[in-house]
Structure 1
Amino acid sequence: MSVRLPTALAALALLAACSAAPTKAPSHPITAPAAAPTTPADDNLNAVAWSQTAIEHDLIYLQTYRDAEARLLPALNDKQWDALPKDDRVAPAKGLTPAVVLDIDETVLDNSPYQARLIKSGGEFNEADWAAWCKEERARALPGVVEFTQFAASHGIAVIYISNRAKDLDQATLSNLRKAGLPVSGPEAFLGLGTFVEDCEQVGSEKSCRRQLVSRKYRVLMQFGDQIADFVTVLANNADGRQKAMTPYMGWIGTRWFVLPNPTYGAWEPALFNNDWSAPRDERRRQKIQSLRFD
């Protein structure tokens, strides 16, 4: 005779059998959440990526140098034309050899590979690594500058480079310029940091003394740079001081002075944290974020 279990007892028996059976692994194992990235964000990544990959970057340089070339001969023929600020014109320009004055880094030569190396290593600028990069002599010419400077030289206009590269990098720098196709008339074409100028005391990396040196021999038709200190002395590196330095010369922008973009480094950055490079990196970043506008 068969025995029929009550329905509730049958259900309990079935549950017990299931719990005793071995557990089968799911066909798609559940993965643990991805670990947080160990590499900290780098504020310079987008800036360097834009400088190296955005066609807009190249077009700005081409546009600037082509516009300058179109204006160069009229400036040459205007004997009253001079692109030095009044404080740097220490000798009358009349009768002097015409010249154009250019900064080098991020104005003439592209050093974005050095900035890319800093991003990869997580480091910051230091003089030893920078000098080593300069001595590689591998920086490429920026778009449009070779054509412009060669055009200037072909019309008897001296091409002078005023740079804050150290004076002991002169040979490597001149060699790099030549390799990149830029005209170099000789050692005097490069006025690096540490160039001695009689009766003029250079303060830090200011270029005023070197512009004064140029003014003794040349009538400057145009200046080119990626920092406002490439054109004029900045007495106070803060927002008000930078604006004050440029205000008298706003009419010269795009005619005598040609400013090029550099989002990767420059005096604009320490102006955001009171020029205090001794502050921890996180503190400098906090102050830069504080400087942003949100409306």
Structure 2
Amino acid sequence: MTKALPILLGTLLLGACASQAPHSNSAASTAVAPAPVAAVAVPADDNLNAVAWTQTALEHDLIYQETFRSAQSQLLAALKDKNWDALPAEDRITSSKQLKPAVILDIDETVLDNSPYQARLIRKGGEFNEADWAAWCKEERARALPGAVAFTQFAARHGIAVIYISNRAQDLDAATLDNLRKVGLPVSAPDAFLGLGIILPGCDQVGTEKNCRRQLVSQHYRVLMQFGDQLGDFVTVLSNTPAGRAQAMAPYQDWIGSRWFVLPNPAYGSWEPALFNNEWSTPRAQRRQQEIQALRDN
């Protein structure tokens, strides 16, 4: 008994200590898992990755540099070839052989970077609207895209007119020309910018298509190259559906990379409404669902 007493006392003491451990009362003697944190609903913004890639991915800049450098390496050969013309047949309304040379470039996401405007839309949760777009253009803060200044200045030094055809409204022409000049893009004269709303007598323009303005250029210039981020920057797209777009481009596949230079724009463009029947009045959620339905998973 004498030897067993210390052992018994030690056992009792340990039991007492255990009974005083945190959360060891009888009501909580069984461990209870913490309640799961409720998932926070994150609203989808399908433009976020596109704009983030445009603004931060080095690959974006390299594609632009590659495109403009490739064009520059071919430009003088095109200049020497008097039969070389980059206008589709329907836009070439006069013979080009005796005309001065020119290149045609779109503006937005071709030579000027408007991704800050897209970033503002993402932060506000809004969509494109004409008032905000016009205000952004009038800030004249768009940067030149990589390679655009070097290419256009090279063309100008070799006597090749630089013509900008854009769907910016004509009331933005002064701000647009100022922005182009600020970043070093050559502007030979005010008529170097052909904005939306210019009328060519005898030419029927469909919506915002650029065919009439290309025809206007064709009266004065032999076009060596065209640059843009939309199919409509090169050829008239009469049916803006995936099939109609492919049909419009089919005759000119061999021109890609030699007469026509296509630049990437994942943020916006006519490719998007082609997926929801061009019905911008459709609620945003429904448009999004139609775009999801157009995805391929095999």
TM-score, normalising length: structure 2:
0.88
Q: Could you tell me how far apart the structure 1 residues matched to 2:68 and 2:86 are?
A: 16
TM-superposed deviation, 1:60: 0.2
For structure 2, the residue ranges without an aligned partner over 5 or more in a row are 1-15, 29-33
Describe the SS at the equivalent of 1:201: coil
CA-CA distance at 1:23 after TM superposition: 9.3
Structure 2 residue matching 1:107: 3-state secondary structure: coil
Larger displacement relative to structure 2 (194-203 or 113-122): 194-203
Give 1:198's aligned amino acid: P
Shift of 1:203: 1.6
Shift of 1:32: 6.8
Tell whether 2:192 aligns with 1:178: no
Where in structure 2 are the equivalents of 1:149-228 lying within 5 Å?
A: 149-228=152-231
Q: How far apart are residue 126 of structure 1 and its match?
A: 0.3
Specify the alignment match of 2:37 in structure 1. 33
Q: Read off the aligned partner of 1:115 and give its amino acid letter.
A: Q
SS at match of 2:95: coil
Runs ≥4 in structure 1, deviation > 2 angstroms? Answer: 21-24
Deviation at 1:197, TM superposition (A): 1.3
Q: What is the aligned partner in structure 2 of residue 61 from structure 1?
A: 64
Letter in 2 for 1:175: D
Q: Write out aligned runs for 1:215-254 (5 A).
A: 215-254=218-257
CA distance in 2, matches of 1:244, 1:110: 29
Code of the aligned partner of 1:218: Y
Confirm or deny that 1:282 pairs with 2:285. yes
- Identity, % of aligned positions: 71
**Which one-letter code corresponds to 1:33 in the other structure?**
V
What per-residue deviation string (whole Å, max 9, x for no partner) do you get for residues 223-279 of structure 1?
Answer: 000001100000100011001000000000000000000000000000011111111
SS at match of 2:209: coil
Instruction: Supply the distance in 1 between the matched residues of 2:111 and 2:58 (Cα, whole angstroms).
Output: 17
Shift in Å, 1:31: 7.6
Letter in 2 for 1:283: Q
Shift of 1:200: 1.3
Distance, in Å, in 1 between the alignment partners of 2:161 and 2:27 is 85
C-alpha distance in 1 between matches for 2:292 and 2:39: 27
Q: Which residue number corresponds to residue 6 of structure 1?
A: none
Give 1:43's aligned residue.
46
Moved more, 194-203 or 132-141: 194-203
- TM alignment of 1:94-173, pairs within 5 A: 94-173=97-176
Query: What secondary structure sits across from 1:98 in the alignment?
Result: strand
Determine the structure 2 residue equivalent to 1:262. Answer: 265
Distance in 2, matches of 1:255 and 1:159, equals 17
Residue 94 of structure 1: how far off its partner (Å): 1.2
Displacement after TM superposition at 1:22 (Å): 12
Q: Is the partner of 1:83 in helix, strand or coil?
A: coil
Q: Summarize deviations over 1:176-222 as a string: whole Å, max 9, x none.
A: 00001100011100000001212212221000000000000000000
The CA distance in 2 between the partners of 1:201 and 1:194, in whole Å, is: 12
Other structure's SS at 2:253 match: helix
Q: Please list the CA deviations of residues 71-121 of structure 1 after superposition, one character each: whole Å capped at 9, or x if unmatched.
A: 000000000000000000001101101000000000000000000000000
RMSD: 2.2
* Cα distance per residue 1:21-70 (max 9 Å; x no partner): 8999xxxxx68725514x51100000000000000000000000000000
TM-score normalized by structure 1?
0.89
